[in-house]
């Protein structure tokens, strides 16, 4: 048996640090759920009620009304005292507030959620921020109520309605709509066709189609017979959609033996149709709502980032329970002692999360002042390492602080990572951001002649004349990212 002594370095994350990292990279919705779960499971945590009267000296990050903002130093408005990384001892105050109270007159943005989350408070009425929406299937069933059908026919129609996808298409074969044993005798294809024709008459034209051509044909059939170009448009949809997609109007005129003017009229009518008629009924998934973490406002000549406190869950240590626990013997209450320690760790982690996000947000806004003045065309190239060096943080911390975090500004809601863009060289030796180049490409395409659209080579040449050195392949990639089709697809008839 031999023994060998080795020295090696190893990094170990303490439970508290692991919790801080986990909370920092969470989105606001996930963070709210995590805090709510902690409040429900830990007896030493409770929800901060709006009527509890949070002390005024703790009110860092409060969004002041416009008439109070102007004339003040912007540094006095930004959240000031950052939470220290040092862990306070057990003699810390029993009540810590994650978010300050904001008055009703505060011009804050609460992410469309009620300001108060106390179930006993009248302001928590779900009707303040929720509304009923009619889905595609509900709309079809509502129209179906006006028809007198046999039980068999109604079941078949219900199966078809359930199989229609969010785009409004029936992509499931008749044989897979229902088990043969569910109908006696088994439903034939002719019966399914009749049921489908009934569904296609419900709600908007084009619903229940099995492919794009049938969808467009149903919409054309729903138009008046005297609609100009309707008959020719149905012919094009029936067998020449590929040429229409390539904007081959000369080929269509030659193949269908119609004048070019008639072809253009029919093609313009087709382009006005909706290829996804079911989208107008699509429900919005609540999970896709974005709650900004900060609000960008202009103070004097500068843009500043103000924390959106109303979007942050409010929590505190339960003073009464903590005092009762202090009067007991710790050795006999090991589980409760662990719960109290976890509650204190959570409070400190929440404060550090709020402080880190606010510092990163303000550093981003300070570097991107021209973006908020002039838009994406003035976005500066920026790297995570620049913010990390400025704030004295690790680059991974900045990355977590910018993941799934959003800011609201007069120009819209943007993810923090939107402001980090790679550098592109210019003829003058300077740099510009990829986002600015995409904005230039969008402007050029929007101003082009529809009958003579700009190719990617032409766009690269125009960018070169503007001083931006970009290859043709890069232009094609950026054009695809802003969802513009190639030049031949943009050509007007």
Q: Are residues 316 and 390 in the same domain?
A: yes
Q: Are residues 310 and 403 in the same domain?
A: yes
Q: Is residue 426 part of a domain?
A: yes
Q: Are residues 304 and 399 in the same domain?
A: yes
Q: Are residues 331 and 441 in the same domain?
A: no
Let me know the angle formed at the C-alpha of 97 by 94 and 99, rounded to the nearest 5 degrees: 175
Q: Are residues 294 and 367 in the same domain?
A: yes
Q: Are residues 294 and 399 in the same domain?
A: yes
Q: Is residue 120 part of a domain?
A: no
Tell me the average pLDDT of the chain. Answer: 77
Q: Are residues 298 and 330 in the same domain?
A: yes
Q: Is residue 349 part of a domain?
A: yes
Longest CA pairwise span in the chain (Å):
98
Q: Are residues 400 and 426 in the same domain?
A: no
Look at 89 and 204; give whichever has higher pLDDT.
204
pLDDT band, residue 364 (cuts 50/70/90): very high
- Retrieve residue 128's tokens: 């303040």
Q: Is residue 479 part of a domain?
A: yes
Residue range 256-266: mean pLDDT, rounded: 88
Give residue 346's pLDDT.
82
- Retrieve residue 462's tokens: 């125009």
Which residues are within 8 A (CB) of 154 and not within 5 positions of it... i.e. 6 or more apart? 144
Show the domain range for 470: 421-490
- pLDDT digits over 45-77, tens only? 777 765 454 433 433 333 333 333 333 333 333
Report pTM. 0.58
Which residues are within 8 A (CB) of 416 and not within 5 positions of it... i.e. 6 or more apart? 360, 361, 364, 401, 402, 403, 405, 406, 407
> What distance, in Å, lies between the first and last C-alpha atoms of the chain?
87
* CA pair distance 63, 51, nearest whole angstrom: 18
> Is residue 163 predicted with pLDDT exceeding 70?
yes
Range from 32-36, 100-104, 318-322 carrying the lowest mean pLDDT: 100-104
* CA pair distance 147, 199, nearest whole angstrom: 11
> Is residue 426 predicted with pLDDT exceeding 80?
no
Query: At 429, is the secondary structure helix, strand, or coil?
Result: coil
Give residue 471's pLDDT.
86
Residue range 17-46: mean pLDDT, rounded: 79
Residue range 278-306: mean pLDDT, rounded: 82
Give residue 92's pLDDT.
38
pLDDT band, residue 99 (cuts 50/70/90): very low
Q: Are residues 399 and 438 in the same domain?
A: no
* CA pair distance 71, 42, nearest whole angstrom: 44
Residue from 186, 198, 177 nearest 152 by CA: 186
pLDDT band, residue 323 (cuts 50/70/90): confident
Residue range 186-192: mean pLDDT, rounded: 89
Range from 39-48, 433-442, 483-492 carrying the lowest mean pLDDT: 39-48
Report percent pLDDT > 90 for the chain: 21
Q: Is residue 214 part of a domain?
A: no
The CATH number that applies at residue 439 is 1.10.10.60
Domain boundary among 343, 376, 409: 409
The residue with tokens 């309605």 is 161
What is each CA distance from 313 to 16, 49, 461, in whole angstroms? 20, 10, 52
Give residue 309's pLDDT.
81
Q: Are residues 400 and 436 in the same domain?
A: no
Q: Is residue 24 part of a domain?
A: yes
Q: Are residues 309 and 376 in the same domain?
A: yes
Q: Is residue 85 part of a domain?
A: no
Give residue 434's pLDDT.
84
- pLDDT digits over 337-354, tens only? 777 778 888 888 888 888
Range 317-327 burial, b when 16+ CB lie within 10 A, else e: bbeebbeebee
Give residue 316's pLDDT.
78
Domain boundary among 150, 171, 204: 204
The enclosing H or E element of 287 equals none
Residue range 459-486: mean pLDDT, rounded: 87
- What one-character DSSP code corresponds to residue 403? T
Give residue 429's region: left, alpha or beta (phi > 0; psi -120 to 50). left
Report percent pLDDT > 70 for the chain: 77
* CA pair distance 292, 457, nearest whole angstrom: 39
Task: Please say whether the beta carbons of 294 and 61 come within 8 A.
Answer: no
Give residue 89's pLDDT.
38
Give the count of domains, the chain: 3
Q: Are residues 294 and 344 in the same domain?
A: yes
- pLDDT digits over 69-92, tens only? 333 333 333 333 333 344 333 443
pLDDT band, residue 14 (cuts 50/70/90): low
* CA pair distance 186, 292, nearest whole angstrom: 55
Q: Is residue 255 part of a domain?
A: no
Domain boundary among 170, 189, 204: 204
Give residue 305's pLDDT.
93
Greatest mean pLDDT range, 93-97, 173-177, 334-338: 173-177
């Amino acid at each position: 048996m031999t023994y060998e002594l080795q020295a090696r370095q190893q990094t170990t994350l303490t439970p508290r640090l692991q919790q801080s990292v986990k909370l920092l990279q969470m989105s606001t919705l996930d963070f709210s759920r995590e805090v709510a779960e902690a409040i429900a499971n830990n007896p030493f945590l409770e929800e901060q009620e709006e009527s509890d009267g949070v002390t005024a000296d703790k009110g860092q990050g409060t969004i002041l009304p416009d008439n109070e903002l102007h004339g003040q130093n912007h540094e006095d408005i930004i959240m000031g005292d950052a939470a220290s990384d040092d862990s306070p001892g057990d003699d810390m105050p029993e009540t810590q507030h994650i978010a300050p109270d904001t008055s009703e007159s505060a011009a804050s943005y609460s992410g469309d959620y009620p300001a108060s989350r106390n179930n006993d408070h009248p302001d928590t009425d779900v009707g303040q921020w929720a509304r009923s929406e009619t889905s595609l299937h509900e709309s079809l069933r509502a129209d179906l109520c006006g028809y007198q059908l046999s039980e068999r026919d109604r079941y078949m129609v219900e199966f078809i309605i359930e199989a229609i996808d969010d785009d409004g298409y029936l992509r499931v074969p008749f044989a897979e709509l229902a088990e043969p044993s569910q109908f006696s005798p088994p439903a034939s294809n002719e019966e399914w066709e009749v049921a489908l024709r009934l569904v296609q008459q419900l709600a908007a034209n084009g619903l229940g189609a099995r492919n794009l051509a049938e969808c467009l044909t149903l919409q054309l059939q729903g138009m008046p017979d005297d609609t100009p170009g309707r008959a020719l448009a149905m012919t094009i949809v029936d067998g020449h959609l590929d040429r229409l997609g390539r904007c081959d109007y000369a080929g269509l005129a030659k193949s269908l033996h119609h004048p070019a003017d008639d072809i253009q009229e029919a093609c313009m009518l087709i382009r006005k149709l909706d290829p996804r008629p079911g989208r107008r009924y699509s429900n919005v998934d609540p999970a896709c709502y974005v709650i900004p973490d900060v609000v960008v406002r202009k103070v004097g000549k500068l843009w500043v980032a103000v924390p959106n406190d109303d979007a942050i869950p409010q929590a505190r240590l339960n003073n009464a329970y903590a005092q009762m626990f202090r009067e007991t013997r710790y050795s006999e209450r090991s589980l409760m002692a662990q719960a109290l320690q976890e509650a204190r760790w959570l409070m400190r982690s929440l404060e550090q999360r709020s402080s880190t996000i606010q510092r990163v947000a303000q550093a981003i806004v300070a570097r991107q002042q021209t973006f908020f003045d002039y838009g994406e065309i003035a976005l500066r190239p920026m790297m995570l390492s620049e913010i990390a060096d400025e704030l004295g943080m690790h680059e991974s911390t900045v990355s977590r602080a910018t993941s799934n975090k959003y800011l609201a500004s007069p120009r819209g809601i943007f993810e923090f990572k939107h402001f980090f863009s790679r550098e592109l060289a210019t003829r003058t030796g300077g740099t510009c951001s990829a986002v600015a180049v995409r904005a230039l490409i969008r402007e050029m395409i929007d101003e082009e002649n529809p009958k003579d659209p700009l190719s990617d080579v032409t766009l690269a040449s125009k960018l070169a004349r503007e001083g931006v050195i970009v290859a043709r392949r890069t232009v094609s990639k950026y054009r695809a990212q802003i969802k513009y089709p190639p030049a031949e697809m943009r050509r007007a008839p």
